[in-house]
Amino acid sequence: MFFAVLPESGISDGWILDHVMPNMARSGIPRQVCLVLGKAMLWRVFDSCGDDLVPSEQCIQIFQRYEDMGHCYQKYSYSDS
């Protein structure tokens, strides 16, 4: 499965490495692995079905960094589509 980031989101590869997967990126895990896992993490965090799978502290931190870019976050559910 491949997770893509929408260009209009303002989220770059660097942003993912810095704010979603910082510990893994700093520990020497290959960049591409961190990006694949980071995109999957973003999908899970922004999707309402992931509420019980990602620690709330981590979600809050990601949402705060996203808001720092001037965006408002919105959780999506399958019923929104």
Q: What pLDDT score does 51 carry?
A: 65
CA-angle at 46, arms to 43 and 49, nearest 5°: 85
Q: What pLDDT score does 80 carry?
A: 46
Per-residue pLDDT 10s for the chain (81 aa) are 567 888 888 899 999 999 999 999 999 999 999 999 999 888 888 876 666 788 888 888 888 888 888 776 665 544 444
Q: Are 55 and 42 in contact (CB under 8 A)?
A: no
Q: What pLDDT score does 81 carry?
A: 45
Number of neighbouring beta carbons within 10 Å of residue 61: 15
Phi, psi of 47, deg, nearest 5? -100, 135
Alpha carbons within 13 A on the beta-carbon side of 62: 23
CA distance 64 to 2: 25
